[in-house]
Amino acid sequence: MYIIGGTASDKIAKDISIRLDVPLAETISKRFPDDEFYVRINDDISGEHAVIVQTTYPDHNIIELFILQNAAKEAGAKKITIVIPYFGYARQDTKFKDGEPISAKALAELISINADKVITVDPHKEYIIDFFKTSAVSCSAISEIAKYLKEKDIDMILAPDKGAINRVKKASRIIGCDFDYMEKTRINGETIEIKPKKLNAKNKNVAIVDDIISTGGTMAKSIQELKKNGAKNVFVACTHGLFAGDAIKKLNSAGCDEIISTDSVQNKFSKVKIAPCITPLIK
């Protein structure tokens, strides 16, 4: 077996190779003058199980994944497993309006072409893994996030909407704290409404946990509600930290005390490693 890291997920690939005690393939990656991507796998992976690790966000990382898959196939890998720490486009998982694509399905079908197995982490909706035309499984980073939060003296953990309640319920058991949810309505891609909910947050350390932070709108509104309810410290945590546009500014202005994400999308808030969730699925 060889672990092959794409440039979006090279650190996770290294973590996986250490945890599984299998070699990390040496690769050369560069961009041509016109910005097209070039990759070469230097190790001989012929007849080997190749495990390619690459987040499909932002867009250029998708092309890189396709090219790596092809390189592994051309090199004669006997089995190709694709680990997608953050599966981009997952939120367009249905046709909300006529004429729209199901982007998650389009991407899943293309990735399936050169893949014997796909592993992803906290997909936006669990049914997305059925879009792959090959064997696909998912794992959750919530236990690793909960272990990090356990050190922060958290009194209550919250889901920003009722749909995410199971995730926080699981975390609350690990942390040993209360759990609850906020009442969220999405007006459009940029605007959400959090209905005031009487939360018992006075003088408490509260963590809000979501699968994705994109524009930060959901979390910012939730933080404001909690602060209105007298919360002492508010931590926001997510599996996939995209932090689009001025998301960080929004979170800080809302009074956020700490931002936490995993390394599924590498950024300065990647405080939680996801390799421990992924490795059992590779074995």
Q: Write down the catalytic residue from 184, 204, 221, 273.
A: 184
Tell me the closest approach of the beta carbon of residue 231 to ligand R5P, in angstroms: 19
> Can residue 160 be called a binding residue for ligand R5P (CB under 6 A)?
yes
Residue 210 touches ligand R5P, criterion: CB under 6 A = yes
Under 8 Å between Cβ of 32 and 38: yes
SS3 content of the chain, % helix, strand, coil (to 5): 35, 30, 40
Beta strands 49-53 and 2-5, pairing class: parallel
Q: Which one among 55, 172, 205, 215 touches ligand R5P, defined by CB under 6 A? A: 215
Closest C-alpha among 120, 49, 43 to residue 78:
49
Interaction of residue 145 with ligand R5P, rule CB under 6 A: no
Instruction: Give me 110's structure tokens.
Output: 């293309």
> What is the H or E stretch that residue 276 is in?
helix 275-282
Shortest separation between residue 92's beta carbon and ligand R5P, angstroms: 12
**Contacts (CB under 6 A) with ligand R5P, residues 7-66:** none
Interface residue with ligand R5P, options 216, 248, 264, 274 (CB under 6 A): 216
Reported in sequence order, the residue ranges of 141-226 that DSSP labels E, i.e. its strands, are 156-159, 178-181, 183-186, 192-195, 205-213
59 by DSSP, 3-state: which?
coil
Nearer to ligand R5P, 212 or 275 (CB): 212
**85 is an interface residue for ligand R5P by CB under 6 A:** no
Q: Which of 54, 172, 205, 214 binds ligand R5P (CB under 6 A)?
A: 214
125 is an active site residue: no
Query: Does 262 contact ligand R5P by CB under 6 A?
Result: no
Considering the rule CB under 6 A, would residue 212 count as an interface residue with ligand R5P?
yes
**Helix (H/G/I), strand (E/B), else coil: 212:** strand
Residue 136 CA to residue 61 CA, distance in Å, equals: 20
| Residues assigned a catalytic role | 184
Give residues in contact with ligand R5P (CB under 6 A): 160, 192, 210-218
